[in-house]
């Protein structure tokens, strides 16, 4: 083989190897993006009191003229499968504490006040592109024990025929208590990042969150 041919062969091999490495990195990145959302415990305060109003707007209760206290925020989310495909018509069941850290649940021992204008619970369906959206308040932190203050979070239970039911908790970017929350700290760093909703640039009251389901 001539020197020219040898150089061309080596160059082609280097380019091919580089392209293969990039392809492998892309596949690894894609796999990371579409790993199932880490699960979490349901907790003791899943709603048990029947309520008619479970629509996407938790800041108002049907039949009442007032609005919920606290910082109003919007969550824009998507439900995907592990192939990155949207999951249409998934049931997104969510519940949370109010702005003072109190759940609308008869067994919540927190002495913080209830908010009669806060819905506290919603059930919505994902759209054609897996999208869902709801309006709520930033949940307050609350004492889980004498030495543990839970960071703000929202509980999710997502179900769809053909997929494993997902129970998880969504956290918020920029919350100082994220650094000391005992449940969140049990997760790896990459798992924590997949559980934290991110603010949308130039829309500080809007957060984006992706839930990834695993097929049954």
- In the annotation, is 69 catalytic? no
> What residues in the chain have per-residue pLDDT under 70?
1-33
- In the annotation, is 163 catalytic? no
Q: What is the pLDDT of residue 20?
A: 52
Residues 67, 184: Cα–Cα separation, whole Å:
31
- In the annotation, is 142 catalytic? yes
Q: Which of 103, 163, 171, 207 is catalytic?
A: 103
- Strands (DSSP E) contained in the chain are 72-81, 91-95, 121-125, 131-137, 142-145, 148-150, 153-159, 166-172, 196-200, 203-213
Does 2.60.40.10 match the CATH number of domain 36-213? no
Q: What is the pLDDT of residue 34?
A: 85
Mean pLDDT of the chain: 89
Q: Of 152, 170, 213, 174, give the one whose Cα is nearest residue 40.
A: 170
pLDDT digits (tens, 9 = 90+) for 75-108: 999 999 999 999 999 999 999 999 999 999 999 9
Q: Which of 104, 142, 163, 209 is catalytic?
A: 142
Look up the pTM and report it.
0.84
Q: Which of 78, 150, 194, 209 is catalytic?
A: 150
């Amino acid at each position: 083989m001539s020197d020219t041919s040898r150089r061309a062969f080596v160059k082609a091999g280097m380019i091919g190897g580089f392209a293969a490495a990039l392809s492998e990195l892309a596949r690894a990145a894609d796999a990371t993006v579409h790993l199932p959302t880490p699960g979490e415990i349901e907790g003791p305060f899943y709603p048990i009191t029947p309520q008619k109003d479970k629509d996407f707007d938790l800041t108002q209760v049907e039949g009442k003229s007032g609005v919920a206290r606290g910082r109003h925020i919007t969550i824009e989310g998507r439900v995907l499968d592990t192939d990155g495909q949207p999951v249409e018509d998934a049931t997104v069941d969510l519940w949370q504490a109010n702005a003072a850290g109190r759940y609308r649940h008869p067994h919540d021992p927190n002495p913080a006040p209830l908010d009669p204008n806060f819905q506290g619970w919603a059930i919505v369906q994902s759209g054609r592109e897996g999208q869902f959206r709801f309006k709520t308040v930033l949940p307050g932190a609350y004492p889980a024990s004498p030495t543990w203050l839970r960071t703000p979070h929202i509980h999710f239970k997502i179900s769809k025929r053909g997929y494993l039911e997902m129970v998880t908790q969504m956290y918020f970017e920029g919350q100082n208590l994220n650094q000391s929350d005992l449940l969140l700290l049990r997760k790896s760093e990459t798992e924590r990042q997949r559980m934290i909703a991110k603010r949308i640039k130039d829309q500080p009251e809007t957060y984006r969150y992706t839930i990834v389901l695993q097929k049954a």
